[in-house]
Amino acid sequence: MQNLEQQIQFIIELDQLKAVYRKALIKADNNRYENSAEHSWHITLASHILAPYASPGVDINRVNQMLLIHDIVEIDAGDTFAFANHDVLGQQSEKEQLAAKRIFGLLPEPQASTYLSLWMEFEESITLDAQFAKAMDRIMPLIQNMQNQGGSWAQNNVSKQQVIKRNQYLEHAAPQLWQYALSQIELATERGWLRDQS
């Protein structure tokens, strides 16, 4: 029963992700901040719905598992706004590495190693699966902000160029969605929700 006890402890630890708040706003719940647990659910399910647009070779079940675990490190490291400055994002990366080792290390082997390497694959974003997963993580705020008069973009004075760069994984992982994202970014800029640097 030792393995099971470790697995239950890991599952209990996960509860803490429900207390990590992001910059995204939930329009459906009085514009409160979104937490990283419900965000993880949303993009995991979205990845199934948008799977028909994934480039050939994407394994949606692996993408799924990556998205379920991608934010767990925030239990220790907290959430950092996507458009924070370079130093802040660099420090965040170190904290997240330590967090991944501690939190996935709660699991028995081989699960501990499997999930740690899946998380690292997501972070490195070299494989096509990881790129599609990253693309899902990044298109969701776009979808949410377009429904909410610019949402976290407008609140934080984000530029069109920043959002284009951030969504670039779509270009190879899901070309049709890339075209969709570009058209939405154009619309957001016209409406004044994104700052146009050019």
Rounded to a whole number of angstroms, the minimum distance from the CB of residue 198 to a copy of itself is 26
Where does this chain touch a copy of itself (CB under 8 A) — which range of 24-32, 89-97, 125-133, 161-169? 24-32
Residue 19 contacts a copy of itself per CB under 8 A: yes
Where does this chain touch a copy of itself (CB under 8 A) — which range of 4-12, 81-89, 124-132, 152-160? 4-12
CA distance 157 to 194: 7
Q: Is 33 or 81 the residue whose CB approaches a copy of itself more closely?
A: 33
Q: Which residue has the tokens 């501990």?
A: 112
Task: Please give the residue ranges that form the binding site for a copy of itself (CB under 8 A).
Answer: 1, 3-4, 7-8, 10-12, 14-19, 26-29, 34-35, 37-38, 40-42, 44-46, 48-50, 52-53, 61, 64-65, 68-69, 107, 111, 140, 143-144, 147, 176-177, 180
